[in-house]
Amino acid sequence: MKDIKRLFLEIKFEILKIIMLNAVLRGSIFFLILYLPAAFFGIMDMWKYSVYILVVLAGMYSVILAIRQYRQIRYKLLEEREPELQDILTTAHDTMDEENVMVRAMWRELAMKVRKIRPVMFFEPGQIVKWVFVIFVLSVLTAMSPTLTYQLAKHNVTTDSFKLDINLPDFFDGPGINNGDIAAVDIFQDDSIFGDRSPIILGDDELTFEIDQDFSGIDFSSEDDLLNENFDENDDLTQIFIPKGTGFDAKKAAANSKQQKIWIKNYFEAIDK
Amino acid sequence: MTETSPLRNLDKLKHTFDKLFDEIGKVIVGQKSVVEHVLVAILCEGNALLESYPGLGKTLLVSTISKILDLKFSRVQCTPDLMPSDITGTYVIEEEDGKKKFKFQKGPVFTNILLADEINRATPKTQSALLEAMQEKQVTMGTNTFKLEKPFFVLATQNPIDQEGTYPLPEAQTDRFLLKILLTYPEKDQELEIVNRYTGILRDPNIKVLLGKQSLVLLQNLTRQMPISNENKTYAVEIINRTRKNKDLVEFGASPRASLGLILAAKARALIDGRKCVTKEDIEEMALPILRHRIILSFKAEREGKSADDVIKELIK
């Protein structure tokens, strides 16, 4: 009987490992499920330690789950998983005091059967694969959460005509652009600018423009301050909207044009937001 | 020899019984459950009552089993004029050294397997001559008692049709039979196999002796040592109790001998299956042959056209 008890202890220990794996996987899912809506609604930015709170919650969930599952391990569970064991286990219990060849043979068989009950019985590969897949999907969603959550600006220059949407996440940043830098793209040099996507990235954030080809919808009257301002050739900002290789006079003229000034204004507004 | 060696041999029991079934299968086509039940009866040191229509191979089955088990086999054809002494034996006068004295001439009962063919054709007096042999494994003649050689097993057959001029076995006697085994007609393909096997050139099936007397006695001992849980024991007794309590279906239920028989038969079945303990399935499977000759159906059950097997199945539910 001692040998059998020892075998059962071994099995319990093996099952414990499976329980731990299950708890870790389910805890991870729990964490990601909490993290996603929190990130979506911007809760993660509200407190500095939000992520740690989620980790603690997920950890507690895992521990509770593991304890609950461990308590559920009974010989009855073994019997359910291995119906053949049911009769032999009950009989072994009832004939503990008997001593003959058949009883010894039964104990031997019981020991062999118990040894066969490896944790594989409790290990459900399908379930594990499912959880790993869920974790993968949630991780991808989490990685893409910045694009799903908020955009730096959605600035409409006009109400119709062509649309320039920049929806690339920060990990698509081009080389040489650091956080806080102003990246530029020569949209006037790009023939396919209208209707096609082109990255205009501001550090880690994104910028969305809607560009009216003929600027007919712009109310210039509200842009007085900006219109009165002059830029010179040393102003880097003008490089944003002026094609490379343009001569100084042309640059200056372009920078001081109404529509360019409005663009620049909008650009700053977007940065402020 | 280490202690585990005999235990390892026990693991081969299933293989031994499988080979036994294969050898019997060389002669008997199909009827696996019948063969199993006959083996159960032998392992339990019990007797079996075989009921079937003529020509289903009862005698062939018993003689084949006796050959495989290397046992002595006798056959008695029961008729109304068969006398008890024709079975048990009788005293004859013999002259020895000029002196005449009685000497016991052993009858066919002094064997290992006795086939009492059409036992219901023998008179009750002759039938009862078998009682002591079946139960006590001994024969008493006058003041002398002769022990029968172990193992001893009576297989009686009876014909369910053509009941005229027969003496149905009294309840007390049927109770002495551990099992009542029913033989049914073979399936079409099995019958075709029988025809193919026995209508062409007859070949010696070359039956091998698989077990000796000592091995059989050992197996009988192992059967009794087969562990059974209290739960299954209680279940067996509960089934027997139901035959006494359910007056709607059963007029007279089974005796405690049926409880003993059921548990023992379940143990034997487990041994044949190569298991190391008795299961509920063993008990349910053996309940039919153990009980079908031990219960008397109620008028209601008879009127509804239920057979003993139908009633037992209802009681097990």
Average pLDDT over residues B78-89: 88
Q: Give the domain extent around A64.
A: 2-146
Tens digits of residue pLDDT in B263-307: 999 999 999 998 888 999 999 999 999 999 988 888 988 888 888
Task: Specify whether A100 is located in the same domain as A190.
Answer: no
- Taking contacts as CB-CB distances below 8 angstroms, the residues of chain A near B227 are 91-92, 94-95, 98, 102-103, 106
- Taking contacts as CB-CB distances below 8 angstroms, the residues of chain B near A108 are 4, 7
* 8 A C-beta contact, residue B35 and residue B43: no
Which of these ranges, A261-265, B90-94, B124-128, B231-235, has the smallest mean pLDDT?
A261-265
Task: Specify whether A165 is located in the same domain as A75.
Answer: no
> In the 8-state DSSP scheme, what is residue A45?
G
Task: Specify whether B155 is located in the same domain as B89.
Answer: yes
pLDDT band of residue B6 (cuts 50, 70, 90) is low
Task: Tell me which of A94, A121, A146 is where a domain ends.
Answer: A146
Residue B197: is its pLDDT beyond 60? yes
Tell whether B174 is covered by a domain.
yes
Task: Specify whether B139 is located in the same domain as B275.
Answer: no
Instruction: Tally DSSP H helices, then E strands, for chain B.
Output: 14, 11
Q: Report the alpha-carbon distance of residue B49 to residue B115 in Å, rounded.
A: 10
- Taking contacts as CB-CB distances below 8 angstroms, the residues of chain A near B277 are 87-88, 91-92, 106
Which of these ranges, A105-114, A205-214, B58-67, B188-197, has the smallest mean pLDDT?
A205-214
Radius of gyration of chain A measured on its C-alpha atoms:
34
C-alpha separations of B140 from A58, B106, B122, B300 in Å? 85, 11, 20, 43
Average pLDDT, chain B: 86
Q: Report the alpha-carbon distance of residue B128 to residue B78 in Å, rounded.
A: 13
pTM for the model: 0.64
Shortest CA distance to A57 belongs to which of A28, A16, A19?
A: A28
Residues of chain A with pLDDT below 50 are 150-199, 201-203, 209-223, 233, 238, 240
Q: What is the DSSP string of A190-257?
A: -TTTTTS----EETTEEEEEE--SS-TT--GGGGHHHHH----TT-TTHHHHS-TT--HHHHHHHHTS
CB contact under 8 A, B7 and A108: yes
Residue of B225, B232, B278 lying closest to A101 (CB–CB):
B225
Q: Scanning every residue of chain B, which has its alpha carbon at the shortest distance from the alpha carbon of A88?
A: B277
Q: Report the alpha-carbon distance of residue A34 to residue A36 in Å, rounded.
A: 6
**pLDDT at residue number B186:** 85
- Taking contacts as CB-CB distances below 8 angstroms, the residues of chain A near B4 are 108
Q: How many independent structural domains does chain B possess?
A: 2
Q: Report the alpha-carbon distance of residue A45 to residue A51 in Å, rounded.
A: 10
B1 alpha-carbon distance from chain centroid? 36
Q: Report the alpha-carbon distance of residue B151 to residue B73 in Å, rounded.
A: 11
C-alpha separations of B204 from B35, B132, B198, B208, B210 in Å? 21, 37, 11, 11, 17
Q: Scanning every residue of chain A, which has its alpha carbon at the shortest distance from the alpha carbon of B280?
A: A87
Task: Specify whether B208 is located in the same domain as B241.
Answer: no
Q: Report the alpha-carbon distance of residue A18 to residue A81 in Å, rounded.
A: 15
Task: Specify whether B40 is located in the same domain as B108.
Answer: yes
Instruction: Identify each DSSP E strand in chain A by its residue range.
Output: 153-156, 163-164, 201-202, 205-210
Task: Specify whether B137 is located in the same domain as B252.
Answer: no
pLDDT band of residue B99 (cuts 50, 70, 90) is confident
Q: Report the alpha-carbon distance of residue B209 to residue B29 in Å, rounded.
A: 19
Residue B261: is its pLDDT beyond 90? yes
The one-letter code for the residue type at A98 is: E
Task: Specify whether B231 is located in the same domain as B221.
Answer: no
Q: Scanning every residue of chain B, which has its alpha carbon at the shortest distance from the alpha carbon of A113?
A: B276
CB contact under 8 A, A92 and B11: no
Q: Which residue has the higher pLDDT, B52 or A76?
A: B52
CB contact under 8 A, A102 and B279: no
Give the Cβ contact number of residue B6 at 10 Å. Answer: 12
Q: Give the domain extent around B52.
A: 12-225
CB contact under 8 A, A105 and B11: yes
| Chain A, chain B: beta-carbon pairs less than 8 Å apart | 57
Task: Tell me which of B225, B254, B274 is where a domain ends.
Answer: B225
Sign of CA dihedral A217, A220, A222, A223: positive
pLDDT band of residue B60 (cuts 50, 70, 90) is confident
Task: Specify whether B160 is located in the same domain as B49.
Answer: yes
Task: Specify whether A80 is located in the same domain as A209.
Answer: no
C-alpha separations of B147 from B44, B136, B142 in Å? 18, 9, 14
Partner residues linked to B141 by β-bridges: B144
Q: Report the alpha-carbon distance of residue B308 to residue B301 in Å, rounded.
A: 9
**pLDDT at residue number A157:** 42
Task: Tell me which of B175, B208, B225 is where a domain ends.
Answer: B225
Task: Tell me which of A117, A146, A175 is where a domain ends.
Answer: A146
Q: What is the ipTM of this complex?
A: 0.79
Task: Specify whether A10 is located in the same domain as A127.
Answer: yes
Residue B255: is its pLDDT beyond 60? yes
CB contact under 8 A, B227 and A95: yes
Q: Taking CA A79 as the corner, what is the angle to CA A77 and CA A81, rounded to the nearest 5 degrees?
A: 70
**pLDDT at residue number B102:** 85
Q: What is the DSSP string of B251-305?
A: EE---HHHHHHHHHHHHHHHHHTT-SS--HHHHHHHHHHHHTTT-EE-HHHHHTT
Task: Tell me which of A146, A166, A187 is where a domain ends.
Answer: A146
Task: Specify whether A110 is located in the same domain as A85.
Answer: yes
